[in-house]
Amino acid sequence: MAREGVAGRLPAWTDPECPVARAADVIGDRWSLLIVRDAMDGARSFTDFQQRTGIARNILADRLRKLVAYGLIAQVEPESGKRRVYALTEAGKDLFPVIVTLRQWGERHAFEAGEAHSVLVDERGESVPRVVPVAADGAPLTSDTTSVRKLG
């Protein structure tokens, strides 16, 4: 992954050998995740993101620059020919399962029983099934059934 930001440099990796730490360095703050979430839900312009999140304009500008620098979002020319807009890259779209898993965790653990919240549905209007990692044989995986193997 490129490490050159708008100002020519991005901070050093927190834990260079850990994929979780590197991912957190890129998208680990709440605003970045909410920007990616909203981009997945159709937000395209600076104004779209600002209105949907309520984020301060200076923080939004900073996070958008960072997400562009890390290759999760790209600035593109709109069909209208007006101001450039933002679009998820393939790397940004690859965060969809992460966003779904965070959403589902939030549904289970961040709301009181019966408390109203939004739901994610598929094209037919059906609730999206719970995302569960599985082994090659289809068996569910948990932190108790996996381990990290350091390479190199």
pLDDT digits (tens, 9 = 90+) for 73-131: 999 988 777 888 999 999 999 999 999 999 999 999 999 999 999 999 999 999 999 99
With 0-12 CB in 10 A as exposed, 13-18 as middle and 19+ as buried, what is 126?
exposed
pLDDT at 80: 78
Query: In this model, does residue 48 exceed pLDDT 60?
Result: yes
Residues of the chain above pLDDT 70, percent = 94
Q: How far apart are CA 112 and CA 115, in angstroms?
A: 5
Give the pLDDT mean for 33-46.
97
68 Cβ partners below 8 Å, 6+ apart? 6, 74, 75, 86
pLDDT at 78: 82
Tell me the average pLDDT of the chain: 92
Q: Which of 36, 68, 29 is nearest to 52 (CA)?
A: 36
Q: How far apart are CA 129 and CA 138, in angstroms?
A: 16
pTM to 2 decimal places: 0.86
